[in-house]
Amino acid sequence: MQDMNVAYDTLIPNNVGLSSDKRVLKALEKWHPGYINWWNDLIPDQFQRSMIYLRTAVSVDPKGWAKFDYVKMPEYRWGVLLAPQVEGRTIPCGEHAGQPAWQDVPGEYRNMMKRLIVIQGDTEPASVEQQRFLAITAPSLYDMRNLFQVNVEEGRHLWAMVYLLHKYFGRDGREEADDLLRRSSGSEEAPRMLGAFNEETPDWLSFFMFTYFTDRDGKMQLESLAQSGFDPLSRTCRFMLTEEAHHMFVGETGVGRTIERTCQVMKENGIDDPYDTDRIRALGVIDLPLIQKKLNLHYTLSLDLFGQEVSTNAANAFNAGIKGRYHEHRIDDDHKLTDATYTVWDFEDGKLVRKDVPALTAINMRLRDDYTRDAAGGVGRWNKIIEKAGIDFELKLPHEAFNRKIGVFADKLFDPEGKLVSGADYDAGQTKWLPTHADGDFIQSLMVQVTEPGQFAGWIAPPKVGIDNKPGDFEYVKLAMA
């Protein structure tokens, strides 16, 4: 073991009394060097040495959670921060609803809880791994900085989960924390736990789509864990949500700026037909139908992350009170769901049907429906941009049956409207519904690094406002010499 000799309270902003917590300190001392190695091996060296204008959370109060300054990423202060404890908080759902929230892991649910935390924790470093080469093609210093901000915060979210494992799950927890660094996105040896997190993020439009759609799944999971009866998990997730909001902002504005630039270039060149893709692409911007295809892909991949529509695992977690529903505290019911039903999709006699099932078993489905509503908001705002430009095109979330690998729709062929189609129809439609390799090549051709402050690659518009209200030509990244 490397002797870190670290003043942890200084190095790791925290509100959990880290320096006096022998259990966690001992565990962290062993884990921390591995984490730093992981980070150093991951991000290309040039960027490790660059000064980046990053937001650091040093405390959970409004003044402390967003401190901006230049920092080299390996020196970033990954903190362990929990939302303040709410006096008298009770378990919000399930058979223990109304009892005082657990401050320690109840032995009965230890394994279930550990599994949830490990799955959540596994996604955090995975996305950093998926995005590791993107900085090389960053369309601006502003975007490069946002990428790194997302990356360090995913890193911090890993810390948050590792803290819970170290603090509350003893020896097993330490082993799981080590395994979070052992697994790696796309690895054959030890891949990340969820399929969607083993795909490389090949370009910036994918990154924006990922942060909009896939990080939103993360948000929904965090929202339901924020409702946990295990108070430290709830408090951790509540604070993570404040940061997750920024990732979604990066995604929504990133896609929005791409759309805005496309519309602008179309207008400047007198193109009204959004399907005149050859001409549009020749102008170096991404046509709206391709954006729809990317949307179709990322939305449906993200839907798969919610698991089976009818799930006993989800029912068990809800009933145990360790995972609630989205905004559980605002829902007006008994929070036990002993007799309630919920309507889910099913596939019977060759067609899709709506079916009432016990609400307890449909927890995943309900969260997925909440997700869809949440995801629809940004799509509406993107359409406003198109509408304002006077182009006749509307982006749409595809039907949830389309392109699914998990759940009742898996292994069947649906078009984006949710219509069951033949293999031939699917093959014929596929190139219109999902990005092709040629589409990928085209997007890749636009990916060039722009490092001049205030300058942007031709396929994307500048943001309306700078980060931390900085002016347009602000040097968000002081690049080290390559």
Partner 1 sequence: MTKLIDFQTDPSKYRHWRVEYDGPIATVYMDVDENGGLFEGYQLKLNSYDLGVDIELSDITQRMRFEHPEVKVVVIKSGKDKVFCAGANIRMLGGASHAHKVNFCKFTNETRNTFEAAEADSGQKWIAAVKGACAGGGYELALACNHIMLTDDSASSVALPEVPLLAVLPGTGGLTRVTDKRKVRRDRADVFCSIEEGIRGKRAQEWRLVDEVIPNSKFDDVVAERAREFAAASAKPDVDKGISLPPLTRRIDDNGVHYDLVEVEIDRAARKATITLSGPATEAPGSIDEVTAQGADFYLLKLARELDDAILHLRLNEREVGLLVFRSQGDPALVQAHEDLLLDNKDHWLANEILAYWKRLLKRIDMTSRSLVALVEHGSCFTGVLAEILFAVDRSYMMEDEFEGDNRPIATITLAASNFGQYPMSNDISRLDTRFLGEPEAVEAAKAKIGEPIEAEEADALGLVTYILDDIDWEDEIRIFMEERASFSPDAMTGMEANLRFAGPETMETRIFGRLTAWQNWIFNRPNATGPDGALQRYGTGVRGDYNMERV
* CA–CA–CA angle 476, 479, 130 (5° rounding): 80
Q: Which is nearer to partner 1, 84 or 100 (CB)?
A: 100
Residue 384 binding partner 1, by CB under 8 A: no
Q: Which is nearer to partner 1, 174 or 323 (CB)?
A: 174
Q: Which is nearer to partner 1, 169 or 382 (CB)?
A: 169
Query: Which of 2, 9, 20, 26 is close enough to bind partner 1 by CB under 8 A?
Result: 26
Polymer length in residues for the chain: 482
Query: Which of 33, 34, 64, 170 is close enough to bind partner 1 by CB under 8 A?
Result: 170
Residue 30 binding partner 1, by CB under 8 A: no
Residue 381 binding partner 1, by CB under 8 A: no
What is the three-state SS of the chain?
CCCCCCCHHHHCCECCCHHHCHHHHHHHHHHHHHHHHHHHHHCCHHHHCCEEEEEECCCCCCCCCCEEEEECHHHCCCCECCCCCCCCCECCCHHHCCCECECCCCHHHHHHHHHHHHHHHHHHHHHHHHCCCHHHHCCCHHHHHHHHHHHHHHHHHHHHHHHHHHHHCHHHHHHHHHHHHHCCCCCCCCCCCCHHHHCCCCCHHHHHHHHHHHHHHHHHHHHHHHCCCEHHHHHHHHHHHHHHHHHHHHHHHHHHHHHHHHHHHHHHCCCCCCCCHHHHHHCCCCCHHHHHHHHHHHHHHHHHCCCCCCCHHHHHHHHHCCCCCCCHHHCCCCCCCCCCEEEEEEEECCEEEEEEEEHHHHHHHHHHHHHHHHHHHHHHHHHHHHHHCCCCCCCCCCCCCCCCCCCCCCCCCECCCCCECCHHHHHHHHHHHCCCHHHHHHHHHHCCCCCCCCCCCCCCCCCCCCHHHCCCCCCCEECCCC
Query: Which of 32, 55, 110, 281 is close enough to bind partner 1 by CB under 8 A?
Result: 110
Sketch the per residue contact string, 79 through 108, with partner 1: x for CB under 8 A, - otherwise.
-------------------------xxxxx
**Residue 83 burial (CB count, 10 A):** 18
Residue 230 binding partner 1, by CB under 8 A: no
Residue 327 binding partner 1, by CB under 8 A: no
Nearest distance from C-beta of residue 30 to partner 1, angstroms? 12
Nearest distance from C-beta of residue 17 to partner 1, angstroms? 15
Task: Using the rule CB under 8 A, give the single segment among 22-30, 73-81, 120-128, 367-375 that binds partner 1.
Answer: 22-30
Q: Which is nearer to partner 1, 104 or 356 (CB)?
A: 104
- Total binding residues for partner 1 by CB under 8 A? 13
Residue 175 binding partner 1, by CB under 8 A: no
Residue 32 binding partner 1, by CB under 8 A: no
Residue 365 binding partner 1, by CB under 8 A: no
Residue 171 binding partner 1, by CB under 8 A: yes
Q: Which is nearer to partner 1, 22 or 63 (CB)?
A: 22
Q: Which is nearer to partner 1, 4 or 66 (CB)?
A: 4
Residue 23 binding partner 1, by CB under 8 A: yes
Q: Which is nearer to partner 1, 21 or 223 (CB)?
A: 21
Residue 351 binding partner 1, by CB under 8 A: no
Q: Which is nearer to partner 1, 22 or 354 (CB)?
A: 22
Q: Which is nearer to partner 1, 25 or 421 (CB)?
A: 25
Nearest distance from C-beta of residue 108 to partner 1, angstroms? 4
Nearest distance from C-beta of residue 77 to partner 1, angstroms? 25
Q: Which is nearer to partner 1, 174 or 298 (CB)?
A: 174
Residue 387 binding partner 1, by CB under 8 A: no
Q: Which of residues 293-322 bind partner 1 (CB under 8 A)?
A: none
Nearest distance from C-beta of residue 119 to partner 1, angstroms? 20
Q: Provide CB contacts within 8 A for 40, sequence distance 6+.
A: 48, 74
Q: Provide CB contacts within 8 A for 465, sequence distance 6+.
A: none
Residues that bind partner 1 (CB under 8 A): 22-23, 26, 104-108, 110-111, 168, 170-171
